[in-house]
Structure 1
Amino acid sequence: MSRTLVIGDIHGGLKALEQVLERAKVTPGDKLIFLGDFVDGWNDTPKVVDFLIELEQTHDCIFIRGNHEEMVLRWLSEGEDNEEWRLHGGQSTVEVYETVHEEIKGRHIDFLTRLNDYHLDDKNRLFVHAGFTNQKGVHYEYFKGMYCWDRTLWEAALAMDKTLSKKDLFYPKRLALYEEIFIGHTPVTRIGYSVPVNRANVWNVDTGAAFKGRLTIMDVDTKEFWQSKPLPELYPNERGRN
C-alpha cells in the first residue's frame, strides 16, 4: 500500500537522508514530500541535491522551497553573498561547491529554481516550509517570502489554548482553513523535543538535523515516524550549524 511521507529539514546531511529512507522502507510507490532546507550545514549539500534530482526520476516527489534554498540559489545564480547566511550554514556550502563542476552547478540551479512554495493535497492538508500570514490562506499571501521565513504560524500554534476547537471564535483563522499543516523551519529541539511535535492542527517535522538532532520522515496518515542517528554521529568530523 502506498504512503504519503513527509521529510523534515535535511541541511546537507545526505547520510541521514539515506538512513531514514532505508529505515522507513521507502518504495517507488510512496509519495515523498520534502519540506525544504535540503542545503547548508553539513558538508554534503551538493550530494544531497544530486540525490534528490535522481530520486525524482524513480519516485513521486514534491520538493518545497526553504529559506536556505532561497539563499543558496541567489548565491549560485547571482553571486549574492552575505555574512549572516554564511554564519548559519552557508560557509560549508561555499567551501564544498569550490570542487563542483560548473555543469553540475547549472543543474542544481535549475532544480532550486523549480521548487514549490507549498503543496496542498486533495485532503486539504497543507505542506509548507515555514508558514504564511494571510487569513484567507496560502493562495492569498501578499508576502511570498513568508512561505519559507515565517515563524508566527508555529508560534501561534504553540501559544494556543489546547481546549479550543476549529469552530471556536478564538481559533486562528489561518489554521482553521486546513485539515492539517506540516512545517519545518523551526527546530522542535528549541522547545526540548527530539520527535515531531503537534500543536493544534500543525505538525512540526524539523527535529534539529542541522544541529545535534536527527532527521525525521513521517507517515502523514498514521503519524508513524522514523529517525536517523543524531547528525553529529554521522558526521563526527564536522560541526554542522552553530
Structure 2
Amino acid sequence: MGHHLEIKKQDVIVLSDIHGRFDLLETLIKQVEENEVMLLLGDYCDRGKDSLQVIKLVKEFVESGRAIAVKGNHDQMFLDFLDDPSAEPDWYFGQGGRETVQSFYGGNDIGFNVSLRYTPEKIAQDILMMYPELIDFLRALPLTIEMDGYLFVHAGVKSHSKDWKSSTLPQEYLWIRQDFYLRPNDTGKRILFGHTSAYHLPLHDTPIWVNKEGNLFGIDGGAGGSGCLNGVRIQNGKIIGVYKVYKYDEWDYVPFER
C-alpha cells in the first residue's frame, strides 16, 4: 500500500487519536450505521491501557472493509522503538509507550511493570516475535485518504501549497502542527486531522475545531488524556454531526452541519 489512498464518495464516520482507549472505541463503534465506513486517522497506541486490543480491532475492521486507517505519529514511534529499542527507550516509555508494551504482555493483570523488569531489547524482540502480522499491518498503513473534496490525515499537510503531495515531507503527515493549522488551506480540499488536541488549537465554540475559513477540522478530542473520543459523521458529502464519547457507554451526539 502506498502513502496516499483514494476512495469513492461514501458515508463515513471519522475518528482520530484513540490512544489505547478500547472502551471509548467500543462505545463509538456501536453508533456506526451499517452503510457507514470508519475512517481512522492514527494514534491507536500509547497512553491508554488497551493499545493491543485497539490495534487488533483496527486491523480486523480494515481487513473486513468496515474501516480504512492511516498511520499516526505514536504508531510510528512504537515501530521505531521496536526497530531500535536501545535508541531512546525512556523517552518512548514516557510518551505513553510504557502502557503500550504493558498491554502486549497482558496488561496490569500480570502484576509487574514490564518496562522496569525487562530490557528494551527483550521487549522489542518479544513483541516482534509474538505479533509479526500486527506489526506488519501498522508498517503498511498509508499516510492520507482522499475522498471527493475531502482529505483525511493524522497531523496535517503543507496546505498552503496546491501541490501538497510534493511539498509535504513523509514525517510531516505525522508530526506537523502550527505550519499547518495556522496557515491558509489552499489545497482545494476540506481537511480533517487529529494529532493536536482541539483543546490546544485556537479558541472555538464548536464540537470540533474549525478554522475561520471553514476548511480545516481538528477532530482530536483528547481521548489519550482526560478528554473524549470524537466521531465525525459525513453523509452525502457533508459533515452533519459529531459523536462525543466520554466513558464506556457514555456519549452525546451533537448535530453539526458544515
Q: TM-score range by the shorter chain?
A: 0.7 to 0.9
Give the direction of change, closer, same or farther, for the CA distance of 1:154–1:141 in structure 2 (3 Å limit).
closer
Q: Does 1:179 align with 2:181?
A: no
Q: Which residue of 2 aligns with 1:214?
A: 228
Q: Which residue of 2 aligns with 1:44?
A: 50
Amino acid corresponding to residue 53 of structure 2 in structure 1: K
**Equivalent residues in 2 for 1:147-226, closer than 5 Å:** 147-156=173-182, 172=184, 175-191=185-201, 195-199=207-211, 200=213, 201-220=215-234, 221-226=238-243
1:152: Cα distance to partner?
2.1
Q: Which residue of 2 aligns with 1:83?
A: 90
Q: Relative to structure 2, which stretch is displaced further, 43-52 or 218-227?
A: 218-227
After superposition, the C-alpha distances for 1:141-176 in whole angstroms (9 at most, x for unaligned) are 35210000000245415xxxxxxxxxxxxxx2xx12
Query: Identity of paired residues, percent?
Result: 25
Q: Does 1:109 align with 2:135?
A: yes
Give the direction of change, closer, same or farther, for the CA distance of 1:4–1:81 in structure 2 (3 Å limit).
same
* Aligned partners of 1:9 and 1:185 also within 8 Å: yes
SS in structure 2 of the partner of residue 12 of structure 1: coil
Amino acid corresponding to residue 40 of structure 1 in structure 2: D
Q: Which residue of 2 aligns with 1:169?
A: none
1:32: Cα distance to partner?
1.5
Give the direction of change, closer, same or farther, for the CA distance of 1:101–1:138 in structure 2 (3 Å limit).
same
Q: Which residue of 2 aligns with 1:98?
A: 105
Query: Structure 1 stretches (4+) deviating beyond 6 angstroms?
Result: none
Q: Which residue of 1 aligns with 2:167?
A: 141
Distance 1:206 1:117 in 2: 17
Amino acid corresponding to residue 197 of structure 1 in structure 2: W
Distance 1:115 1:182 in 2: 17
Q: Does 1:5 align with 2:17?
A: no
1:104: Cα distance to partner?
4.4
Paired residues in the alignment total 213
* Aligned partners of 2:81 and 2:92 also within 8 Å: no
SS in structure 2 of the partner of residue 217 of structure 1: strand
SS in structure 2 of the partner of residue 65 of structure 1: coil
Gapped regions of structure 1 (runs ≥ 5): 158-171, 234-242
Q: Which residue of 2 aligns with 1:17?
A: 25
1:180: Cα distance to partner?
0.2
Amino acid corresponding to residue 156 of structure 2 in structure 1: G
Distance 2:73 2:178 in 1: 15
Distance 1:102 1:137 in 2: 37
Distance 2:199 2:168 in 1: 30
Q: Relative to structure 2, which stretch is displaced further, 178-187 or 2-11?
A: 2-11
Q: Which residue of 2 aligns with 1:161?
A: none
Q: TM-score, normalised by structure 2?
A: 0.74
RMSD: 2.5
Distance 1:180 1:89 in 2: 31
Q: Which residue of 1 aligns with 2:77?
A: 71
After superposition, the C-alpha distances for 1:214-235 in whole angstroms (9 at most, x for unaligned) are 101111323311121248x9xx
Q: TM-score, normalised by structure 1?
A: 0.78
1:67: Cα distance to partner?
0.4
SS in structure 2 of the partner of residue 132 of structure 1: coil
2:65 aligned residue (54, 59, 63): 59
Distance 2:79 2:65 in 1: 24
* Aligned partners of 1:40 and 1:89 also within 8 Å: yes
Gapped regions of structure 2 (runs ≥ 5): 1-9, 107-125, 251-258
Q: Which has the higher strand share?
A: 2
1:71: Cα distance to partner?
0.7
1:190: Cα distance to partner?
2.5
1:131: Cα distance to partner?
1.3
SS in structure 1 of the partner of residue 142 of structure 2: coil
